[in-house]
Structure 1
Amino acid sequence: MKLQRKNRVRALAVGALAVSGALALSACGSDDTTGGPGASSAKTSNIKCDGKGKLLASGSSAQKNAMDVWVQNYSGACKDTEINYQPTGSGAGITTFLQGQTAFAGSDSALKPEEVAKSKKICKGGEAINLPMLGGPIAVGYNVPGVDDLVLDAETLGKIFDSKITNWNDPAIKKLNPGAKLPDLKIQAFHRSDDSGTTDNFTKYLKGAAPKAWPHEPAKTWEGKGGQAASGSSGVSSQVKQTSGAISYFELSYATAGKIDTAKLNTGAQKPVDATVENASKAISEAKQVGKGEDLALDLNYKTKAEGAYPITLVTYEIACDKGNKAETLPATKSFLTYLASEDGQATLKEQGYAPLPTEIADKVRKAVSSLS
């Protein structure tokens, strides 16, 4: 049963993201330093190389596994350009970008107004914009001996991560899983130690869907009580894999690569919802565009009760200046981001467990990238 479930998750992760509606740019990063799936077999002959030298970027670790493949493919085609992307986390990536140290930043939540204002100092004559590049679910991974089919809901998750539910045989968990043999085992809840867009999106879900169980305001910095911390998506997923009784949140690609069990969500729909790319796309399709002009920021619906819609989702964005980019890095920046948003670049995401952009959004991103100056 466990193997069949894993295979189903892998198969669904290959599904394309059928998102109706526009994506909005957001900036928050997830971080991690261990790779997932290896190099892609995607075409690289269509990559148009431009610029020379080293292109520095940092931020979201949520996109780290995808970025590894993108960088490898691009570097293989464009020998004169070296791409150096550091998965330091959304918060750190945005900070570094706003200090003018990188050409672009990766983030899993939209830039705040004050961050856009700060960006005008480095984007001479312009400001930072959000360019969506991939989407997908934030999985709730767990390690509970004897349990490979677990159902949780927003209220229970809120209490678990705020240290109000501390044992796996708690009545609230039993009620959601009447047929499961839940052990008398302490819950080891892991959260991100770094400023993270994944944390921001996860806590937005908890606050939006269960405000009484999660009284804290959503943020990139962890605000919950208790628990244990680890750095990056790779850090928390590794802790879940090796710690009996552990639970945490991270991108589906890490669960897939690490063969970690993921919880289904009771959203109020008729059936609990799996963390899959297909189910995340149904939730993302309900998002509203809040960005203006070339800014494509999304307001995600964390309260959806639609059948088959998995509400703990994120969209990862590349943050760049619309105007005022450094002359020495602009050509390579445009060339690399153009590849990421291209059909070939997006095609690599499926095998990594990410959701590619829908065509209408990818077209908007390509247009925005081409206008960078």
Structure 2
Amino acid sequence: MNRNFKRSISVLGVIAAGSIALTACSESADKGGESTAKKIEGLSGTTGQLVAEGASSQQKAMSLFGQAYQEAVPGAQLSYNATGSGSGQKQFIAGQVAFGGSDSALKDDQIEAAKQRCGGNEAWHLPMVIGPVAVAYNLKDVKGLVLTPELTAKIFKGEIKTWNDPAIAAVNKDAKLPSSDIKVVYRSEESGTTDNFQKFLKSTSNGVWEGSGKSFPSGTGAGAQGSTGVVDEVKATEGAITYVESGFAEDAGLGISKMDFGNGAVELNKDSVNKALAKLSYKGEGNNMVVDSTKLFEMKEDGAYPLVLTTYEIVCSKGYDAETKNRVKDFLTVVLENQDDELASEGYIPVSGEFKNKLKTAVDAIQ
């Protein structure tokens, strides 16, 4: 079993084995064994299950964070159901989960409902999980495919239909592009990844893309459920292309397009993403950290890769019962203390510096 697969087990599986694992750790400590759990200051230690739901883009991160939470607070568990951003928002507003994971902010018509769910208090968007989006493809003889936002929009709109189209060939002069059809795969359910991808295309494609929202227009290609679903479909289909969080694409061994945002082809990697994050700006005020995605996507910074998901945990600023509040704050504190190489190895970008400090201030302020 490879290392990535072991780290990618579901949080529910971790919960099922948790009591055994924690007992073993406790017994080891009693006998003089050294615990590997990270020591984190300021935790309440409240036990019980923390229930959350939402974006599948952060599923792998939640598996890591859930395990770290269980180790830091013995007797506490995270149950995160990766059903998509739309469902996460709805379940949070309905009061069925303590927080919702979402790749996009609540819409204006959801703000008041979220406020009511929080007992008349503001709901905050905390961008705790940062993941670049890959335009991923399956072409066995083509490495290092280069696309532009305009080309990408035309492909996903169905205006460019074959891989050897002259427009693609013009920016891939040394590639042996096949004459086969391009097979577009998109998210079939409401998805924050879809919402952000459409915002990106609309902002950068010189008017080619006009759609918006969490639902992808179904006129071109075929839909698949969740991040895992689109990756599996592309992996099984020669000539397929999709948009998906980079960690999923990497694990599946798919090709990841370089993107020319106007200053030459940029490879998706930690350095190019961090160049984009350094220029992040916000729409929200105070502790409500809603990222200005339009400014992010339109960025022309040399060497920057701005096609990035800032995935939120949508939480109540106030209004939880005491135990739920403690669990939420403990879990988010654990998240901030585990922005490390293991998280990076799953395709996410660990937060640091001023951005991380701003998140910590918000978590501390939850009442």
TM-score of the superposed pair, with normalisation by structure 2: 0.86
Residue 78 (structure 1) shift: 2.4
Residue 98 (structure 1) shift: 0.4
Q: 1:122 aligns to what? A: 117
Q: Distance in 2 between the 1:99 and 1:35 partners?
A: 33
8 A contact 1:129–1:321 mirrored in 2: yes
Q: Identify unmatched segments of 5+ residues in structure 2.
A: 10-34
Of 316, 328, 337, which residue of structure 1 is paired with 2:332?
A: 337
Residue 35 (structure 1) shift: 6.1
**CA radius of gyration, larger in:** 2
Match status 1:151 vs 2:150:
no
Q: Distance in 1 between the 2:106 and 2:148 partners?
A: 29
Q: Distance in 1 between the 2:74 and 2:332 partners?
A: 16
- State the Cα RMSD in Å: 2.0
Of 247, 255, 264, which residue of structure 2 is paired with 1:253?
A: 247
Match status 1:274 vs 2:267:
yes
SS in 1 for 2:266: coil
Describe the shift of the 1:42–1:286 C-alpha distance in structure 2 as closer, same or farther (beyond 3 A). farther
8 A contact 2:69–2:77 mirrored in 1: no
SS in 1 for 2:143: coil
Match status 1:45 vs 2:39:
yes
Match status 1:208 vs 2:198:
no
Of 210, 220, 240, which residue of structure 2 is paired with 1:226?
A: 220
Q: 2:176 aligns to what? A: 181
Q: 1:327 aligns to what? A: 322
Describe the shift of the 1:303–1:230 C-alpha distance in structure 2 as closer, same or farther (beyond 3 A). same
Of 293, 304, 312, which residue of structure 2 is paired with 1:317?
A: 312
Residue deviations 1:304-359 (CA, integer Å, cap 9, x gap): 222211121111111100011133411111111111122x3455422222111122
Match status 1:60 vs 2:55:
yes
Residue 42 (structure 1) shift: 8.1
Which amino acid in the other structure matches residue 353 of structure 1?
G
8 A contact 1:339–1:345 mirrored in 2: no
Which amino acid in the other structure matches residue 295 of structure 1?
N
TM-score of the superposed pair, with normalisation by structure 1: 0.85
Residue 267 (structure 1) shift: 1.4
Residue 84 (structure 1) shift: 0.2
8 A contact 1:167–1:186 mirrored in 2: yes
Q: Distance in 1 between the 2:355 and 2:269 partners?
A: 20
Of 352, 356, 361, which residue of structure 2 is paired with 1:362?
A: 356
Moved more, 58-67 or 363-372: 363-372
Number of residue pairs matched by the alignment = 336
Over the matched positions of the two proteins, sequence identity in percent amounts to 39
Describe the shift of the 1:89–1:199 C-alpha distance in structure 2 as closer, same or farther (beyond 3 A). same
Q: Distance in 1 between the 2:351 and 2:40 partners?
A: 19
Describe the shift of the 1:126–1:95 C-alpha distance in structure 2 as closer, same or farther (beyond 3 A). same
Which amino acid in the other structure matches residue 163 of structure 2?
W
Residue 99 (structure 1) shift: 0.4
SS in 1 for 2:304: coil
Residue deviations 1:162-208 (CA, integer Å, cap 9, x gap): 11111111111111111111111111100101111111111111000
Residue deviations 1:116-160 (CA, integer Å, cap 9, x gap): 211121101312101111213100110013101201111111111
Which amino acid in the other structure matches residue 105 of structure 2?
A
Q: 1:79 aligns to what? A: 74
Residue deviations 1:244-298 (CA, integer Å, cap 9, x gap): 00000111111221221100111110x3011123212222333322111211111
Moved more, 46-55 or 252-261: 46-55
Moved more, 346-355 or 165-174: 346-355
Q: 1:3 aligns to what? A: none
> Which structure's relative contact order is higher, taking Cα pairs within 8 Å and 6+ residues apart?
1
Greater share of residues in helix: 2
8 A contact 2:7–2:63 mirrored in 1: no
Residue 214 (structure 1) shift: 1.0
Match status 1:292 vs 2:288:
no
Which amino acid in the other structure matches residue 92 of structure 1?
S
SS in 2 for 1:236: helix
Q: 2:164 aligns to what? A: 169
Which amino acid in the other structure matches residue 214 of structure 2?
K
Residue 54 (structure 1) shift: 1.5
Q: Distance in 1 between the 2:278 and 2:36 partners?
A: 27
SS in 1 for 2:160: coil
